[in-house]
């Protein structure tokens, strides 16, 4: 029983960071109807930002997270302004290739700057959230616990922004009906820029958080990118709440699967659950 | 209020409007009538800037706006209620109305506009927490017009507000449109296919046929116009 609790708690922790990553993807997907295949690479840039900050100043990734957010906000806005804006209204394939190209560019840029070595932020002296804590009898890595809590807080702030500010509401409006949103006097281009900036910022923050306990290398984003596509599909397109719920679900499924069978099979189990969910609810948990 | 001269516009590769000129004086209800595919909706989209102007001018309150983006035109008070309502279906009536007031800056003004809309459409007040997608057709149309009124329109463009409504509801809708014109002093450009009803409330009308104006005149005269009789009134 205690073991099960430990496993689920671990799953919840991974799930909250998955959820944060997926919310960033869901935002861009919802507002623009464009699937961002550079999402995993945005995450990696966030990891490298945290690494660079640590290398230069010894500051913990948890403190570098806002910096990663700002850097990625700019990267996201530039991606929209320089590339995506030019393929708006083009066919789906052209848009996919465009975002894929952005991802490829970022991957290679990271490889050029940081080489292909596996990097790890080792924070021995500072011991900022290091070691482990005992929670209801379960042993939890405190760095992971801290990232999970921060992920949930960041997601919370983001939801408050979306549902309670004029800009947030106009993002929802563009996502539901871009034509009507335009007729309300909403400047769609401006909203798209903000959505790309925010979506990228969120995944950048996730990357910084992740770098606290995960290896950093140029292709680290592939796995997380793939997972976030599944999460968004499972949660329901255009539903950021769905992304939150599905992200946490995927974390728990992974944790249970790697315990029950083999950790290398956990992604297969995630797919299995995804297929079951979509069979029962074709539009995902909260899709409309 | 609105002066359109020799307007041409259309979609990629297809020109729909051909040298259309039309005038909407302040305070009046002007109607544009025409059969399916005549180009009425295209014309309204060109006025709101969701379809690009190819040539010609659109003067709104004396200033050319044909190359201004839609959000600029909305800020100036040119509000387009599109054909088919185009609500935000997953948002509540209240949220839809609030988005209508997107260009209104002060909270007091927004509250005042909510009152105006709920006065004209008490039904919307009853339904304010209901998701717009679950409203009846008539209620959805009220919500769409109400959303337009929320923006403090100087000119309100209504594209087929009677679409899909029963004859009785259509008549009610026309009364409400007249009420908006009279009590809120809003100038209205009304696109319709229910010609007989429309000519009852409009002051002046234009007839569009395959992208050209083929007849125009005071509403009372148009009722007796032979083109209209044959084509629309079926007499
Ligand atoms: N998005 C579009 N792309 C290309 N052509 C279009 C588009 N929308 C409309 N058209 C064409 O433009 C012409 C005019 O259409 P429009 O919708 O303006 O007519 P309408 O007078 O509003 O008709 P209705 O009474 O059926 O609403 C039609 O021939 C139509 O096929
Ligand atoms: Mg039409």
- Cα–Cα distance between A38 and A107 in angstroms, integer? 9
Q: Is the ipTM of this complex over 0.85?
A: yes
**Which of the ligands is closest to the CA of residue B195?**
1
Contacts of B145 in chain A (CB under 8 A): none
Question: Is there a contact between A173 and B99 if contact means CB atoms under 8 Å apart?
Answer: yes
Q: Which of A163, A168, A184 to mutate to test the interface with B (most CBs of B within 10 A)?
A: A184
Distance CA(A20)–CA(B166), nearest Å, equals: 48
- DSSP-derived pairing of the beta strands B2-11 and B53-60: antiparallel
SS3 A37: coil
Give the Cα separation of B9 and B67 in Å (integer). Answer: 12
* Yes or no, beta carbons of A288 and B82 under 8 Å apart: no
Inform me whether the C-beta atom of residue B136 falls under 8 Å from chain A C-beta atoms: no
Structure tokens at B228: 């209209």
pLDDT at A196 over 70: yes
Of the pLDDT bands very low, low, confident and very high (cuts 50, 70, 90), residue A131 is confident
Half-sphere exposure of B87 (CA within 13 A, CB side): 29
Cα of first residue to Cα of last residue in chain B, in angstroms, is: 34
Q: State residue B234's pLDDT score.
A: 52
pLDDT at B182 (0 to 100)? 94
pLDDT grade for A1, boundaries at 50, 70 and 90: confident
Instruction: Specify the pLDDT at position A124.
Output: 64
Task: Give the pLDDT confidence of B173-209 residue by residue, as tens digits.
Answer: 999 999 999 999 999 999 998 888 899 899 999 999 9
Residue A46 is assigned to a structural domain of this protein: yes
- Per the CB < 8 Å rule, is B71 touching A185? yes
DSSP per residue over chain B, as a string?
Answer: -EEEEEEEEEETTEEEEEEEEEEE-TT-EEEEE--TTSSHHHHHHHHHTSS-EEEEEEEETTEE-TTS-HHHHHHTTEEEE-TT----TTSBHHHHHHHHTTT---HHHHHHHHHHHHHH-HHHHHTTTSBGGGS-HHHHHHHHHHHHHTT--SEEEEE-TTTT--HHHHHHHHHHHHHHHHHS--EEEEEES-HHHHHHH-SEEEEEETTEEEEEEEHHHHTT-HHHIIIII--
Helix (H, G, I), strand (E, B) or coil at A46: helix
Q: What is the pLDDT of residue A125?
A: 59
What is the mean pLDDT of the segment spanning A188-203? 96
Determine contact, residues B7/B58, Cβ cutoff 8 Å.
Answer: yes
How far away is chain A from the Cα of B9, in angstroms, using its nearest Cα? 18
Q: Find the range with the poorest average confidence among A128-137, A177-186, A215-224.
A: A128-137
Rg of chain B, C-alpha, whole Å: 17
Distance from CA of B99 to the nearest CA of A (A): 7
Chain A residues close to B99, C-beta within 8 Å: 169-170, 173, 181, 184
> Do A177 and B95 count as a contact with CB atoms less than 8 A apart?
no
Identify the CATH assignment for B2-77+153-233 out of 3.40.640.10, 1.10.510.10, 3.20.20.70, 3.40.50.300: 3.40.50.300
Is A173 within 8 Å of B100 when comparing Cβ atoms? Answer: no
List % helix, strand, coil for chain A (3-state, nearest 5).
75, 5, 20
A-proximal residues of B, 146-165, CB under 8 Å = 147, 151
Is there a contact between B90 and A183 if contact means CB atoms under 8 Å apart?
A: no
Pairing of strands B29-33, B187-192: parallel
A8 in any annotated domain: no
Give pLDDT, residue A126: 58
How high does pLDDT run on average in chain B?
Answer: 92
Give the per-residue pLDDT at A143: 85
Give the model's confidence band at B143: pLDDT under 50 very low, under 70 low, under 90 confident, else very high: very high
Q: Is the CB of B211 under 6 A from ligand 1?
A: no
Q: How far apart are the first and last CA of chain A?
A: 37
- CA dihedral sign, ordered A92, A220, A275, A174: negative
A-contacting residues in B 76-135 (Cβ below 8 Å): 79-82, 86-91, 95, 98-100, 102-103
Nearest to B22 by CA among B199, B178, B159, B216: B216
Higher pLDDT, A246 or B195: A246
Q: What is the pLDDT of residue B18?
A: 94
Looking at the CA of B159, which ligand is closest?
2
Q: A164 to chain B: nearest residue by CA?
A: B95
- pLDDT (0 to 100) of residue A109: 96
Distance B186 CA to ligand 1 centre (A): 27
Q: How much distance in Å is there from the Cα of A262 to the middle of ligand 2?
A: 60
pLDDT digits (tens, 9 = 90+) for A139-170: 888 888 999 999 999 999 999 999 999 999 99
Interchain pair B50, A179: CB under 8 A? yes
Q: Give B190 Cα–ligand 2 centroid separation in angstroms.
A: 11
Residue A92 lies in a domain: yes
Q: Which residue has the higher pLDDT, A163 or A133?
A: A163
Mean pLDDT of A45-66: 94
Nearest CA-CA partner of B160 in B38, B13, B76: B38
At B235 the pLDDT is: 44
* Whether B140 contacts B127, CB under 8 Å: no
Q: Is residue B155's pLDDT more than 50?
A: yes
Which of the 8 DSSP states describes residue A263? Answer: G
Name, in order, each residue with C-beta under 8 angstroms of B200's C-beta and a sequence gap of 6 or more: B174, B219
Q: Is the pLDDT of residue A241 over 80?
A: yes
Q: Which residues of A touch B147 (CB under 8 A)?
A: 184
Average pLDDT over residues A177-192: 96
| SS3 call for A139 | strand
Ligand 1 contact via B12 beta carbon (within 6 Å): no
CA distance A139 to A213: 16
Q: How far apart are CA B119 and CA B125, in angstroms?
A: 9
CA-angle at A107, arms to A105 and A110, nearest 5°: 105
Look at residue A245 in the predicted model and tell me its pLDDT: 95
Domain extents in chain B: 2-77+153-233, 86-152
Predicted pLDDT of residue B165: 87
Ligand nearest to C-alpha B47: 1
Range of the domain at A180: 15-220
Please indicate whether residue B207, judged by its CB atom, sits closer than 6 Å to ligand 1. no
Ligand found nearest the CA of B35: 1
Summarize the confidence of residues A236-264 as an average pLDDT. 90
The residue-averaged pLDDT of A16-45 equals 95
Binary contact (A182, B71; C-beta < 8 A): yes
Distance CA B194, CA B208 (A): 14
pLDDT level of residue B233 (50, 70, 90 thresholds): low
How many A/B residue pairs have CB atoms within 8 Å? 58
Q: Is the pLDDT confidence value at A183 over 60? A: yes
B160 CA: nearest ligand 1 atom: 27
Number of domains in chain A: 1
């Amino acid at each position: 029983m205690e073991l099960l609790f430990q496993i689920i708690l671990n799953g919840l922790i991974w799930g909250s960071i998955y959820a944060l990553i997926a919310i960033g993807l869901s935002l861009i997907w919802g507002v623009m109807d464009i699937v961002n295949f550079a999402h995993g690479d945005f995450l990696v840039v966030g990891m490298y930002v945290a690494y660079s900050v640590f290398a230069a100043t010894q500051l913990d990734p948890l403190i570098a997270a806002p910096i990663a957010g700002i850097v990625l906000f700019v990267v996201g806005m530039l991606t929209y302004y320089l590339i995506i804006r030019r393929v708006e209204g083009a066919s789906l394939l052209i848009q996919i290739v465009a975002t894929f190209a952005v991802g490829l560019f970022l991957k290679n840029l990271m490889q050029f700057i940081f080489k292909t070595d596996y990097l790890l932020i080792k924070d021995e002296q500072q011991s900022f959230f290091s070691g482990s804590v005992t929670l209801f009898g379960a042993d939890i890595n405190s760095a992971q616990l801290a990232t999970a809590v921060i992920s949930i807080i960041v997601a919370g702030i983001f939801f408050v922004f979306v549902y309670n500010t004029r800009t947030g509401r106009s993002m929802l409006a563009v996502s539901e009906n871009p034509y009507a949103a335009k007729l309300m006097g909403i400047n769609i281009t401006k909203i798209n820029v903000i959505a790309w900036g925010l979506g990228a910022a969120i995944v950048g923050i996730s990357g910084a958080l992740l770098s606290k306990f995960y290896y950093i290398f140029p292709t680290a984003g592939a796995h997380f990118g793939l997972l976030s596509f599944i999460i968004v599909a499972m949660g329901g397109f255009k539903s950021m709440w769905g992304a939150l719920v599905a992200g946490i679900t995927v974390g728990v499924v992974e944790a249970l699967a790697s315990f029950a069978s083999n950790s290398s099979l956990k992604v297969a189990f995630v797919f299995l659950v995804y297929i079951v969910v979509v069979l029962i609810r074709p539009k995902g948990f909260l899709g409309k | 209020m609105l002066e359109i001269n020799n307007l041409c516009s259309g979609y990629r590769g297809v020109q729909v409007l051909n040298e259309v000129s039309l005038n909407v004086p302040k305070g009046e209800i002007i109607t544009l009538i025409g059969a399916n595919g005549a180009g009425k909706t295209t014309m309204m989209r060109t006025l709101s800037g969701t379809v690009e102007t190819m040539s010609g001018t659109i003067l709104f309150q004396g200033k050319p706006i044909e190359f201004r983006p839609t959000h600029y035109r909305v800020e100036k008070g040119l509000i387009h209620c599109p054909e088919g309502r185009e609500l935000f279906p997953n948002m509540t009536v209240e949220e839809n109305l609030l988005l209508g007031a997107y260009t209104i800056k002060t909270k007091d003004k927004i509250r005042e506009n909510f009152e105006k809309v709920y006065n004209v459409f008490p039904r919307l007040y009853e339904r304010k927490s209901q998701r717009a997608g679950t409203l009846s057709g008539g209620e959805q149309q009220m919500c769409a017009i109400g959303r337009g009124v929320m923006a403090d329109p100087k000119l309100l463009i209504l594209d087929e507000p009677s679409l899909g409504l029963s004859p009785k509801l259509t008549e009610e809708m026309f009364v409400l449109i007249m009420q908006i014109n009279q009590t809120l002093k809003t100038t209205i450009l009304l696109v319709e296919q229910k010609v007989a009803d429309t000519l009852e409330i409009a002051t002046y009308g234009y007839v569009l046929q395959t992208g050209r104006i083929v007849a125009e005149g005071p509403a009372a005269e148009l009722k007796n116009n032979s083109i209209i009789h044959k084509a629309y009134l079926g007499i």
